[in-house]
Amino acid sequence: MADPKKSPPLTRDSVIAAHALIKEHIHYTPVLTNTTLTDLASTPQAPAALVGTPWVGQEPAKPIIRLWFKCENLQKVGAFKVRGAFHALKRLMTEQGWEEGGGREKGVVTHSSGNHAQALSLAARTMGVPAHIVMPTISTPSKIAATKGYGANVIFSGSTSVKREAVVEEVIKKTGARLVPPYDHPDIMLGQGTLGIELQEQVERMIASGQSEGQSQPKCSFKLDGQGKGKRKGLNAIIAPCGGGGMLSGVALSCENTGISVFGAEPEFEGADDCKRGFESGKRVEIVKTLTIADGLRTPVGVYPWSVIYERRLVRQMFSVSEEMIKKALKLVLERMKVVVEPSAVVPLAVALFNEDFRKMVEKEGGEDGWDLGIVFSGGNVSLEALGKLFEVPAEKAGRQEGKLGKDGEKVAENVAG
């Protein structure tokens, strides 16, 4: 692992420098808008939808929210992780003594069951460096195949972090490979934060031109030309998913001193909202054991990301959502945006659509002008089989639901939105 003390300072300027370093190796992913989802975000939830939530019996919030989606599901390897992997590897390769010490021949190593495994494998292949990837034996076969497809040497391990790290240590002793961690390192954080720089620039340009990349501009009775009440120049806020915190902390750094608020989004199932709980208690939660459907967010926040997210307060607040809210948001994206994303990617959207604490805050602070809210779609690595299982309906319910369908499925859409 590169010495964190030799990493650039954790600042917005360092994120910009990271972008210059890796931009030739990554996709400049599009920002999309969707009128239906923006209208849903700006429509009060039905009182019945709040039954069974902490907000039951409360008057639904009435925010105005214009949604801008940063599509990292269209990034290389299908996720934002490639940004951090390229930045960390290129920084490591410029370290004094790398070439002389045989770094290029010894290569790099990491442990990951998914996106980081593929990201580092691609970065290593591109830079002509061997990659050793420790993956749990229970990893998804498609992710194992993709990692091998990028030319990595895959070594299998047990599923716990202790077992994976033990195998990594064996690989390091045997090969001399350098560790490139998934998220808990300044170089990773700065690389991931480059998506925040792009998102800010893209939305500013799109608002100024009155045009969007790929879809119609969000509605909600506002003017795109900056005329009238409240001149719009760019984003008011960005909300991003949080697992280990590498991307959320990087996005927060990209927004430092810009006036753009940054929020984190987590699943609440089985304590997956460790960063939110840490925020509330003032102490980082170090262990998380959860089987949330947002499998990319099952990791506790790392030490370095926590220093940015909480200790420096560059993330304003954390919000969490239920499994059902995540499924509803995912269904809307698949059916209305026609975009393939994984469950972890829609957790921020679920907050914007269904978390009344967040929505009331936007209503209060945004007023009649509302907010331009950036949503990070973190990745799209999900199999058709997994999606099918997620939405499968018991046979006895299928017949009853079929009778509720109206023209073009509008009744189902209303039920989901409600």
What is the Cα–Cα distance from 261 to 258, expressed in whole angstroms? Answer: 8
Domains 4-78+190-417 and 81-187 share a fold: yes
Count of H helices and E strands in the chain?
Answer: 18, 10
Write b or e for each residue in 302-322: b if 16 or more Cβ atoms lie within 10 A of its Cβ, otherwise e.
Answer: bebbbbbbbeeebbbebbbbb
What residue segments make up the domains of the chain, in order of their start? Answer: 4-78+190-417, 81-187
Q: Identify which has the larger pLDDT, 186 or 415.
A: 186
The pLDDT of residue 165 is 87
> 391-410: per-residue pLDDT in tens?
986 655 555 554 444 444 44
Q: Which residue has the tokens 């972090």?
A: 161
The pLDDT of residue 71 is 98
* 286, amino acid identity: E
Of residues 251, 99, 107, 75, the one with CA closest to residue 176: 107
Residues in the chain: 418
The pLDDT of residue 408 is 44
What rounded mean pLDDT belongs to the chain? 89
Of residues 335, 9, 377, 356, the one with CA closest to residue 187: 9
The pLDDT of residue 161 is 73
φ/ψ of residue 374, rounded to 5: -80, 130
What is the Cα–Cα distance from 280 to 303, expressed in whole angstroms? Answer: 17
* Average pLDDT of span 147-159: 92
252 to 162, 198, 281, 368: CA distances (angstroms): 30, 13, 21, 26
The pLDDT of residue 214 is 41
| Residue 137's pLDDT band (cuts 50, 70, 90) | confident
> 12-42: per-residue pLDDT in tens?
999 999 999 999 999 999 999 999 999 999 9
3-state class of 19 per DSSP?
Answer: helix
The pLDDT of residue 415 is 36
Question: Is pLDDT of 179 > 60?
Answer: yes
> 218-236: per-residue pLDDT in tens?
444 333 333 334 567 899 9
Q: Identify which has the larger pLDDT, 217 or 79.
A: 79
3-state class of 10 per DSSP?
Answer: coil
The pLDDT of residue 1 is 67
What is the Cα–Cα distance from 314 to 354, expressed in whole angstroms? Answer: 24
Give the chain's radius of gyration (CA, Å): 21
CATH 3.40.50.1100 fits 81-187, yes or no: yes
Helix axes 347-354, 356-366, angle to 10 degrees: 70
> 350-406: per-residue pLDDT in tens?
999 999 999 999 999 999 999 999 999 999 988 888 899 999 866 555 555 544 444
The pLDDT of residue 138 is 80
> 245-282: per-residue pLDDT in tens?
999 999 999 999 999 999 999 999 999 999 999 999 99
Please answer whether residues 15 and 194 qualify as being in contact, where contact means their C-beta atoms are separated by less than 8 angstroms. Answer: yes
Question: Is pLDDT of 147 > 80?
Answer: yes
Please answer whether residues 371 and 365 qualify as being in contact, where contact means their C-beta atoms are separated by less than 8 angstroms. Answer: yes
Of residues 368, 371, 386, 318, the one with CA closest to residue 347: 318
Q: What CATH number has the domain spanning 4-78+190-417?
A: 3.40.50.1100
DSSP 8-class letter at 271:
G
Q: What is the layout of strands, in order, in the sheet containing 237-241?
A: 31-32, 65-71, 371-377, 237-241, 261-267, 317-321
Catalytic residues: 81, 113
Of residues 404, 341, 305, 350, the one with CA closest to residue 78: 341
* Average pLDDT of span 127-134: 95
DSSP letters spanning 226-260: S-SSS---S-SEEEEE-SSSHHHHHHHHHTTTTT-
What is the Cα–Cα distance from 376 to 297, expressed in whole angstroms? Answer: 14
* Average pLDDT of span 147-176: 90
